[in-house]
Amino acid sequence: MKRSVKLSRFASPPFILVIGYLLIIALGTLLLMLPVANHSGHAPHWIDSLFTSVSAACVTGLVVVDVDSTYTMFGETVILVLMQLGGLGFMTLATLFALLLGRRLSLKDRLLLKEAINADSMEGIVRIIRKVLIFSFTIEAIAAVVLALRWMREMPVGQAIYYGIFHSVSLFNNGGFDLFGTSFQQYAGDFVFNMIASVLVISGGLGFLVLSDLFDFRRTRRLSLHSKMVLSVSGVLIAIGALVIFIFEFTNARTLGALNWEGKVYGAVFQSVSTRSSGTSTVDISGLRQASQFFIMLLMIIGASPGSTGGGIKTTTFLLMVGALIAVMRGQKEIVFFRHRVPKDIMMRALTIIVLALFIFSIVVILLLMTEDAPFLSLAFEAASAIGTVGLSVGVTPGLSDAGKLIICVTMFIGRIGPLTIAYAIRPRSTKTLYRRPEGHIVIG
């Protein structure tokens, strides 16, 4: 009996998700170490291959080596596949193959899918996944064509098509990888690129449940409470982020100051969108003023939305805490959004996620301060970028020590899987309490 209890814990959906991502990372590391994956024919140091694999599978985009000059097309294709697996989730893509083969999903498969996309129930889970896959591959294909047509003006047709596919997958999955070496700084004033890239990043960061709702909106003419909250808070964060970056960097010659008015607007908006978890940029992140870097850190920790291709504490978690703050200040006992009361167990879960994330972030910064010789803000920025699986960097990442690289690898993994999911994966089996203890009164504030 005890053995079956132990086995059931290790067969739980959170545990399987953790093991699944670890296996994908391990396979990616081995493939990137093959001579055929590297231009020199000699694999980089194992820890650099591991770092790249973790960064791609966890759709972060932090790099310790230049992707285009280090990896061959085979190596870049491995990175592309890792980003697609990490963004959509290996269970989502496994469902695609199961559907193509006509196989019915078991109850265990459906439980895994529910955990993977943060759904409330298993009801209609396969239908949701089917719609998400159709939407994802369609928008990636359209964006790849548009980007390829744009780049055909400045590079050979074959290279333009390849770049279009790679960057479409990278942007939609919030992967953060690019083949230009300086991200997309040369396209700061390019309307076509900024529009397509922003649509891809926002679409990937909204979450599978929201994409499914939007997919059905023409038929149902309604959105769920979750979708309303995600769309509203995402819009507000992007708008506020763009305004703050525009004001802070308007006269900074190293970033927006060197651009015309149109370029300043595009740069501010795209950089705000990118903090959702994209990790790409059209300005030099290391050239940002410290106030801008700190503000972007906060946006990166918030991250994308639940069940999306991005990380962070998630937009709805942030909105719930804001709602709780407002409710307490107004003396209200209930937290209400769009005429719906938020259950207390969800509020406790949101509070747990925030506390865990901030605790992990603090520990990571302390460890980096012990192992690296770099300014505090720079190391804190890298830690926020890793835990939010964003990928923006002020240039510290390539110079990290081996210990620092391992710390960031673990942080990216926690950021992608989610601290609460990892906690559920390793927690001992809970037992039901058959009694309630007396209520105590504690003085706070």
Tell me the per-residue pLDDT of 158-173, one tens digit each, with 9 for 90 and over. 999 999 999 999 999 8
The dihedral over CA atoms of 252, 255, 261, 266, expressed in degrees to the nearest 10, equals: -140
Contact assessment for residue 273 and residue 199, using Cβ atoms and an 8 Å cutoff? no
Residue 184 C-alpha from the chain's centroid: 19
Write the single-letter amino acid at 352.
T
Query: How many Å apart are CA 445 and CA 439, to the nearest integer?
Result: 19
Task: Note the pLDDT tens digit of each residue in 273-331.
Answer: 998 778 889 899 999 999 999 999 999 999 888 877 778 888 999 999 999 999 888 88
Structure tokens at 308: 């999306």
Look at phi and psi of residue 177 and say left if phi exceeds 0, alpha if psi is from -120 to 50, else beta: beta
What is the helix (H) or strand (E) element at residue 163, kind and residue range?
helix 157-172
The pair phi, psi for residue 60, each rounded to 5°, is: -105, -60
Structure tokens at 208: 């599978």
Query: How many Å apart are CA 85 and CA 108, to the nearest integer?
Result: 20
Domain chopping of the chain, boundaries: 11-426
Contact assessment for residue 284 and residue 252, using Cβ atoms and an 8 Å cutoff? no
Render each residue's pLDDT in the chain as its tens digit; 445 residues: 444 444 444 556 677 778 888 999 999 999 999 989 998 766 678 899 999 999 999 888 899 988 888 899 999 999 999 998 888 776 666 665 555 556 666 666 666 666 556 666 566 677 777 777 888 889 999 999 999 999 999 899 999 999 999 999 999 988 889 998 778 888 988 899 999 999 999 988 888 788 888 878 888 888 888 889 999 999 999 999 999 999 999 999 999 988 899 989 999 999 999 987 788 898 999 999 999 999 999 999 998 888 777 788 889 999 999 999 998 888 888 888 888 888 888 888 888 889 999 999 999 999 999 999 999 999 999 999 999 989 899 989 989 999 999 999 999 999 888 777 776 666 655 556 666 777 776 776 6
**Helix/strand number for the chain, H first, E second:** 19, 2
Q: Provide CB contacts within 8 A for 99, sequence distance 6+.
A: 126, 130
